[in-house]
Amino acid sequence: MERDGRAPGTGTRTRDHLANERTYLAWLRTGLSMAALGVAVAKFASGRGMHAVASGLVLLAAGLTLILYGTMRYNTVKRQLECDSFAPARFGAVVTVTVATLLVLISVLLFL
């Protein structure tokens, strides 16, 4: 036991879990922002007609993709931290960000 009564390593584990939560909140915030932008484009770009709606729906899909990946990654990392077997994400984050970026580019092309 350490002097403050905690078992050794507990502070590190707590910091790791809090860092995981902060990362999840960043994915969530980014996804919600993109989804909100999609709703705003679809609602307020009325002069563009169906192009604005299509663009907004694509942005909404990109935002939901980011939220879904962030949630899945948060739960995976949480389980890994609890088992002391953390493995960094390599493929999933790159694919998710690539898909979201492509969806945003498609949205821009639809809106033009």
- The answer to whether position 15 is within a domain reads yes
- The answer to whether position 2 is within a domain reads no
Average pLDDT, integer, range 37-58:
85
Q: Which residue has the higher pLDDT, 109 or 70?
A: 70
Tokens of 95: 């694919």
- The answer to whether position 45 is within a domain reads yes
Looking at every residue in the chain, the average pLDDT score rounds to: 86
Q: How far apart are CA 58 and CA 43, in angstroms?
A: 14
- The answer to whether position 4 is within a domain reads no
Average pLDDT, integer, range 32-55:
86
Tokens of 61: 């899909």
- pLDDT, tens only, 54-72: 888 999 999 999 999 999 9
- The answer to whether position 87 is within a domain reads yes
* Residue 34: domain span: 10-111
Q: How many domains does the chain have?
A: 1
The whole-model pTM stands at 0.79
- The answer to whether position 3 is within a domain reads no
Q: How far apart are CA 109 and CA 18, in angstroms?
A: 39
- pLDDT, tens only, 5-14: 455 555 688 8
Between the CA atoms of 70, 71, 74 and 78, what dihedral angle is there, to the nearest 10 degrees? -170
- The answer to whether position 1 is within a domain reads no
Helix locations, the chain, DSSP H: 10-44, 50-82, 91-111
Q: How far apart are CA 45 and CA 101, in angstroms?
A: 21
- The answer to whether position 76 is within a domain reads yes
Average pLDDT, integer, range 70-97:
90
